[in-house]
C-alpha cells in the first residue's frame, strides 16, 4: 500500500475522518492524487482559484501537503473566497436591484472576510447574523436580515434561510401544511419559529425591532399567515426578558443540528458527496471539542486520506469514498479561474474605474462588491443548468457556457497571442515545448505528459503562423473538461 506511506506524515493527529473509514473494515481505495493534481484541488477548494506557476513549482519540490494546507488557509485569497461563498449562501445565490439599496455589500463582505481571517468561533459568527441589530455599516452582520426582510411582508424568507443555513433544515413545507415526512414538525412550528423574526424591520440604514408589526394586505393573506408567539422548532421558548435575537441565537446554537449543519455544508463543498451520518456526528463532536472554528474543520477534511485520493474511477467507487472528490467548479471558482485564464482582472479594474468616474452612474454601482456580485450572477448562469438549485445540483456545463467559451466574439477576442495569459507565456519562453508546458501549468495546474506535449508541439509547428497554433492550444485547454472540473 504505497499511498499510506506517502500520506503518513499527515495523519499523525487521529483524524476522525480517517478513523471512520478505517473502522469500515478493509477497503481498496484508488491511489493518492498526484502532487500537482492535489495542489490544484486544494488551491481551488481553499482559495477558490487555480494554483500559480511559482506555487506549483515550489510545491513539487517541497511536497509538504500539511504546510501547503496551512499556507493556503492563512492566505488572503482564502478569506476572500469564503467571504464570496457566504455572500452566495446568505443571499440564496441571488439578489435584486432593490437589494442594492437595502444592503451594504462591501461592509458585509469585509466582515465575512475578517471572520475567516481571524478564525472567529463559528458560534459568534452565527450569533451576529441572528442577533445583531443596528446600523448596517457598524454591525455588518445585519445585512443578512436586511436582504430578506421586506416592508409589509412576513419575514418568511429570512426564517427559511436561517433554518437552512444554521440548522440544516428545510422548513418550507410547513409554511402551508404539516410536514408529511417529519411527524413532529407541524405548521404551527413554522409560524412559531417565524415569530423570532417578525419584529425585524429595516429602518434608515439599519435593522431594528418593532413590536406588534402587522402585515396587512393580500400577500400575507395568500400565505395563510398565522401570528404565533416566538417558539423554537423544538418547542423551547425564550426566557423572560431575554432579547428575542439573543434567544434565537441561544436556542439555535444549543441544538446538535447547529454544528452538524456547518460540518455538512463544508463537507459537501469539499467532498461533493453526502456525509455518512456516523461520520457527521463524529466530525461535529471533534469540531466542537476543538473550539468550533471553520479552519479546523477545513483542515480536518482536506488532511484526510479520503480527500487526498485520486478522483479517477467510477461513480459507485466515488460514492463509497474509494476515490477522491470530483466536482464541477462552483460559481466563485469558475469566475476566478475564468478571470485568471483570460486576464479579466485588468478589464474588471477598468470597468470599476469608469463606473466611479461616471457622474451619471448610480452610487450603488460604485461599490466593488456589487460589481463582483454581478460577475458571480453571470457565472452562476453559465455554470448551472436552468432551474437547477446550486445547493442541490451536481451537474454543470450548459450549452450556453459551451457556446460562450467556444465561440463568443468577445471571449474569442481574448484568445489571441497578444492578450493576457497567452501573451505572457509567449514572451516568457521561446521554445515551443517550454511554452506548451507553461500553458499547461497556468491553465491546468500540471505539466503535460509526453504524448500531449508532442501532439501540441506538432500542432504549433505545422501551423502557418505559430502564434495561431498557440491560440488553438489555449482554446483547447480552457474548453477542456479538465479545466472546468475540480478533480
Partner 1 sequence: MSIECGCGRRDFIRLTIGSSLAAFAPLSLALQETRTSRATRMILLWMAGAPSQLETLDPKPGCGKFQAIDTEVSGVRISEHLPKVARRMKKISLVRTVHSKDPNHDTATYLLHTGYRKAPDTSHPHFASVLANELGGRGDLPGCVVIGGSPPAGSSYLDSESGPVVFDKLENPAEDVKLAKGVSRERLEKRWKLLREFESPFVRNHESTALQERTRAYERAYRVLTSKRVSAFDVAQESDAVRAKYGRTPFGDACVIARRLLEADVRFVEVMLADWDTHTDNFNRHEKLLQTLDPAWSALVGELSDRRMLDETLVLWMGEFGRTPTVNGSEGRDHFTRAWSVALSGGGVAGARVVGETDEQGMAIRSRPVSVPDLFATVYSCFGVDPRKEFTTQGGRPIKILEGGEAVKELF
- Cα 428 to its chain centre, rounded Å, is 34
H helix or E strand, kind and range, residue 432: helix 432-444
Alpha-carbon span 157 to 141, nearest angstrom: 17
Q: Is 398 exposed, middle or buried (0-12, 13-18, 19+ CB in 10 A)?
A: middle
Alpha-carbon span 246 to 127, nearest angstrom: 8
C-alpha cell at 411: 471571449
CA distances to 10, 103, 213, 335, 428 from 131, in Å: 39, 17, 18, 32, 54
Closest distance to partner 1 from the beta carbon of 139 (Å):
29
Segment lying near partner 1 (by CB under 8 A), choices 138-146, 184-192, 195-203, 470-478: 470-478
Q: Which residues of 411-445 are buried (b: 16+ CB within 10 A; e: fewer)?
A: beebbebebbbbeebbeeeeebeebbbbbbbbbbb
Q: Is residue 218 a contact residue for partner 1 (CB under 8 A)?
A: yes
Q: How many residues bind partner 1 (CB under 8 A)?
A: 57
**Which of 31, 121, 168, 385: binder of partner 1 (CB under 8 A)?**
385
Segment lying near partner 1 (by CB under 8 A), choices 241-249, 323-331, 349-357, 419-427: 323-331
Segment lying near partner 1 (by CB under 8 A), choices 127-135, 231-239, 407-415, 429-437: 407-415
Return the number of the residue (19 or 378) whose C-beta is nearest partner 1: 378
Sign of the Cα pseudo-torsion (12, 14, 17, 22, in order): positive
Using CB under 8 A, which residues numbered 149 to 188 contact partner 1?
Answer: 170, 172-173
Closest distance to partner 1 from the beta carbon of 396 (Å):
5
Using CB under 8 A, which residues numbered 353 to 372 contact partner 1?
Answer: none
| Pair 55, 338: CB distance under 8 Å | no
Return the number of the residue (263 or 473) whose C-beta is nearest partner 1: 473
Segment lying near partner 1 (by CB under 8 A), choices 50-58, 108-116, 299-307, 405-413: 405-413
What are the DSSP E strand ranges found in 164-237?
200-203, 206-209
Closest distance to partner 1 from the beta carbon of 385 (Å):
5
Segment lying near partner 1 (by CB under 8 A), choices 104-112, 138-146, 320-328, 349-357: 320-328
H helix or E strand, kind and range, residue 345: helix 344-357
Q: Which single residue is written with the C-alpha cell 466536482? A: 327
Q: Is residue 219 a contact residue for partner 1 (CB under 8 A)?
A: yes
**Which of 112, 194, 328, 344: binder of partner 1 (CB under 8 A)?**
328
Q: Is 197 exposed, middle or buried (0-12, 13-18, 19+ CB in 10 A)?
A: buried
Q: Is residue 401 a contact residue for partner 1 (CB under 8 A)?
A: yes
Using CB under 8 A, which residues numbered 255 to 314 contact partner 1?
Answer: 311-314
Return the number of the residue (53 or 472) whose C-beta is nearest partner 1: 472
Segment lying near partner 1 (by CB under 8 A), choices 202-210, 297-305, 364-372, 452-460: 452-460
Return the number of the residue (126 or 436) whose C-beta is nearest partner 1: 436
**Which of 54, 183, 363, 409: binder of partner 1 (CB under 8 A)?**
409
Alpha-carbon span 487 to 484, nearest angstrom: 9
**Which of 57, 139, 400, 429: binder of partner 1 (CB under 8 A)?**
400
CA distances to 41, 305, 323, 324, 424 from 313, in Å: 16, 16, 7, 9, 36
Return the number of the residue (66 or 411) whose C-beta is nearest partner 1: 411
Alpha-carbon span 200 to 189, nearest angstrom: 19
Q: Is residue 326 a contact residue for partner 1 (CB under 8 A)?
A: yes
Segment lying near partner 1 (by CB under 8 A), choices 42-50, 111-119, 280-288, 398-406: 398-406
**Which of 398, 453, 466, 467: binder of partner 1 (CB under 8 A)?**
398
**Which of 404, 423, 429, 467: binder of partner 1 (CB under 8 A)?**
404
Backbone angles phi, psi at 2, to 5 degrees: -60, -40
Using CB under 8 A, which residues numbered 33 to 92 contact partner 1?
Answer: none
Closest distance to partner 1 from the beta carbon of 344 (Å):
17
Closest distance to partner 1 from the beta carbon of 401 (Å):
7
Sheet of 200-203, strand order: 134-135, 206-209, 200-203
Closest distance to partner 1 from the beta carbon of 480 (Å):
5
Question: CB-based contacts of 283: which residues, under 8 Å, 6+ apart?
Answer: 16, 17, 20, 263, 267, 275, 297, 300
H helix or E strand, kind and range, residue 327: strand 327-328
Q: Which of 126, 80, 131, 67 is nearest to 106 (CA)?
A: 80
Segment lying near partner 1 (by CB under 8 A), choices 187-195, 204-212, 363-371, 385-393: 385-393
Return the number of the residue (139 or 459) whose C-beta is nearest partner 1: 459
H helix or E strand, kind and range, residue 437: helix 432-444
Q: Is residue 467 a contact residue for partner 1 (CB under 8 A)?
A: no
Using the 8-state DSSP alphabet, how is residue 373 labeled?
H
In the complex, the residues that contact partner 1 under the rule CB under 8 A are 170, 172-173, 217-219, 222, 311-315, 318, 326-328, 381, 385-389, 392, 394-404, 406-409, 411-413, 416, 452, 455, 459, 472-473, 475-477, 479-482, 484-485, 487
Amino acid at each position: 500500500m504505497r499511498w499510506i506511506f506517502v500520506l503518513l506524515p499527515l495523519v499523525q493527529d487521529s483524524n476522525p475522518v480517517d478513523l471512520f473509514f478505517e473502522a469500515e473494515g478493509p477497503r481498496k481505495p484508488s491511489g493518492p492524487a498526484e502532487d500537482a493534481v492535489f495542489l490544484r484541488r486544494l488551491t481551488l477548494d481553499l482559495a477558490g482559484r487555480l494554483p500559480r506557476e511559482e506555487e506549483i513549482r515550489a510545491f513539487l519540490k517541497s511536497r509538504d501537503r500539511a504546510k501547503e494546507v496551512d499556507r493556503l488557509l492563512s492566505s488572503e485569497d482564502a478569506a476572500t473566497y469564503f467571504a464570496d461563498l457566504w455572500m452566495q449562501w446568505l443571499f440564496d445565490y441571488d439578489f435584486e436591484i432593490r437589494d442594492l439599496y437595502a444592503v451594504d455589500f462591501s461592509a458585509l463582505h469585509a466582515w465575512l472576510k475578517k471572520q475567516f481571517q481571524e478564525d472567529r468561533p463559528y458560534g459568534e459568527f452565527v450569533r451576529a447574523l441572528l442577533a445583531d441589530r443596528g446600523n448596517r455599516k457598524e454591525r455588518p452582520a445585519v445585512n443578512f436580515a436586511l436582504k430578506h426582510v421586506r416592508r409589509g411582508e412576513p419575514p418568511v424568507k429570512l426564517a427559511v434561510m436561517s433554518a437552512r443555513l444554521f440548522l440544516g433544515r428545510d422548513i418550507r413545507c410547513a409554511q402551508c401544511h404539516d410536514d408529511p415526512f417529519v411527524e413532529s414538525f407541524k405548521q404551527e412550528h413554522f409560524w412559531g419559529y417565524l415569530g423570532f423574526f417578525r419584529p425585524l424591520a429595516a429602518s434608515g440604514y439599519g435593522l431594528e425591532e418593532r413590536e406588534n408589526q402587522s402585515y396587512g394586505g393580500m400577500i400575507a393573506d395568500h400565505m395563510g399567515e398565522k401570528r404565533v408567539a416566538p417558539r423554537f422548532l423544538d418547542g423551547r421558548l425564550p426566557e423572560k426578558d431575554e432579547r428575542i435575537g439573543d434567544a434565537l441565537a441561544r436556542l439555535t446554537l444549543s441544538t446538535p443540528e447547529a454544528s452538524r449543519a456547518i460540518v455538512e455544508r463544508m463537507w459537501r463543498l469539499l467532498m461533493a458527496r453526502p456525509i455518512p451520518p456516523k461520520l457527521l456526528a463524529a466530525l461535529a463532536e471533534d469540531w466542537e471539542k476543538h473550539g468550533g472554528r471553520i479552519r479546523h474543520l477545513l483542515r480536518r477534511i482536506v488532511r484526510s486520506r479520503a480527500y487526498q485520493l485520486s478522483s479517477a474511477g467510477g461513480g459507485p467507487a466515488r460514492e463509497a469514498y474509494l476515490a477522491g472528490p470530483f466536482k464541477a467548479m462552483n460559481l466563485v471558482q469558475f469566475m476566478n479561474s475564468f478571470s485568471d485564464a483570460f486576464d479579466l482582472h485588468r478589464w474588471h479594474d477598468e470597468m470599476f474605474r469608469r463606473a466611479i468616474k461616471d457622474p451619471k452612474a448610480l452610487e450603488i454601482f460604485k461599490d466593488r462588491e456589487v460589481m463582483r456580485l454581478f460577475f458571480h450572477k453571470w457565472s452562476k448562469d453559465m455554470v448551472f443548468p436552468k432551474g437547477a438549485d446550486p445547493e442541490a445540483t451536481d451537474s454543470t456545463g450548459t450549452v450556453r457556457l459551451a457556446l460562450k467559451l467556444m465561440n463568443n466574439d468577445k471571449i474569442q477576442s481574448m484568445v489571441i497571442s497578444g492578450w493576457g495569459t497567452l501573451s505572457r507565456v509567449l514572451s516568457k519562453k521561446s521554445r515551443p515545448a517550454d511554452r506548451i508546458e507553461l500553458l499547461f501549468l497556468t491553465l491546468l495546474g500540471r505539466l503535460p505528459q509526453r504524448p500531449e506535449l508532442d501532439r501540441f508541439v506538432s500542432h504549433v509547428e505545422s501551423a502557418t503562423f505559430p502564434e495561431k497554433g498557440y491560440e488553438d492550444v489555449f482554446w483547447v485547454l480552457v474548453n477542456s473538461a479538465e479545466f472546468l472540473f475540480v478533480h
